[in-house]
Homo-oligomer: A and B are copies of this chain.
């Protein structure tokens, strides 16, 4: 492989409305890039698949410039430096960053998110529990959700890459955790791997009364990855002083126009509650803080993670749509 003169990329071929599907991407083979002065080349080993990618390809105003048509799909990746014109980044260094859905990436040192130095943890974890997902969970729950011991913390997409870490951190902090996930397999994962006190399948009959029973004293923190009907059910159970952390809107297929839902103002008023959104890219300084905790908890056996590995770049184009279909169990990764 190291002698190849071409490499493959997944490019954005057309702009989706709503959730990007396989047909919005195309795999192309292009000449292998060479690093210029001061640059280095990364051979990607792992590519990440995130719900947030939907926003990255959207033409609608967002927190980041959209991926241009014909451009390489923006993605976190982890790999090793395989050519280097910079003394600080020798060949073989494990690194992670927004290297894109491609086999090779030529980057400036400033584009490297971090040198992966997580000891015995597999490189793939740099994209999930030790990457953006784990840091997002840590920041959102602790800084915005501010859980207190004894609080009831509800998590939507509770078995997902972010949600599973949220639920476990909440438990470590002494909270009662209620996970909401789609389907019995994910519900079992919540109970058996992620240690939720209660796990509910939102597709099962009787979900709303079951949620009500599970949250009898009210919901102190709701970590929301979905919006939609799940959120409507949780909002009706808020405790006085509740914090609702808006992390994602996985259940909403399109925001153009915004779908209708029951108004939230009266819940917020009567319960003196707060809803707050955040974007983890605003908080780069939080990465080291979060990773110190996450790494320690993993080594202590208190933080579990589950990865779902898809083999080969050709799996990438349909991988985001698959997340939204709910077909994955655990953090979705593409192995090259």
Give A residues with C-beta under 8 Å from B: 55, 61-63, 224, 227, 231, 246-249, 252, 255, 257-279, 282
Inter-subunit contact B275/A264 (CB<8 Å): yes
Bound form: Cα–Cα A61–B269 in Å = 12
Bound form: Cα–Cα A61–B282 in Å = 38
Inter-subunit contact A227/B277 (CB<8 Å): no
Inter-subunit contact B277/A276 (CB<8 Å): no
What's the least CB distance linking A317 to chain B, in Å? 25
A277: contacting residue among B62, B265, B282, CB under 8 A: B265
Residue of B nearest to A247 (CB): B269
Given A271-B277, A273-B277, A274-B275, A265:B227 Cβ within 8 A: yes
Bound form: Cα–Cα A252–B264 in Å = 12
Interface centre among A55, A259, A260, A265, by most chain B C-beta atoms within 10 angstroms, is A265
Bound form: Cα–Cα A248–B247 in Å = 26
Inter-subunit contact B266/A275 (CB<8 Å): no
Bound form: Cα–Cα A272–B273 in Å = 17
Bound form: Cα–Cα A264–B262 in Å = 10
Contacts of A263 in B (CB 8 A): 227, 252, 258-261
Inter-subunit contact B266/A255 (CB<8 Å): yes
Residue of B nearest to A266 (CB): B255
Bound form: Cα–Cα A267–B276 in Å = 10
Residue of B nearest to A282 (CB): B272
Inter-subunit contact B269/A248 (CB<8 Å): yes
What's the least CB distance linking A19 to chain B, in Å? 14
Residue of B nearest to A52 (CB): B269
Bound form: Cα–Cα A272–B276 in Å = 7
Contacts of A268 in B (CB 8 A): 246, 275-277
Inter-subunit contact B266/A270 (CB<8 Å): no
Bound form: Cα–Cα A265–B258 in Å = 9
Residue of B nearest to A243 (CB): B276
Contacts of A277 in B (CB 8 A): 265, 267-274
Residue of B nearest to A62 (CB): B270
What's the least CB distance linking A26 to chain B, in Å? 28
Inter-subunit contact B258/A246 (CB<8 Å): no
- Could you jot down 12 A-B contacts, CB within 8 Å? A61-B270, A227-B265, A246-B265, A249-B265, A257-B262, A258-B263, A259-B263, A260-B261, A264-B264, A268-B276, A274-B274, A275-B275
What's the least CB distance linking A175 to chain B, in Å? 21
Bound form: Cα–Cα A266–B272 in Å = 21
Residue of B nearest to A271 (CB): B277
Contacts of A62 in B (CB 8 A): 270
Contacts of A247 in B (CB 8 A): 269
Contacts of A258 in B (CB 8 A): 262-263, 266
Residue of B nearest to A227 (CB): B265
What's the least CB distance linking A157 to chain B, in Å? 14
Inter-subunit contact B265/A262 (CB<8 Å): no
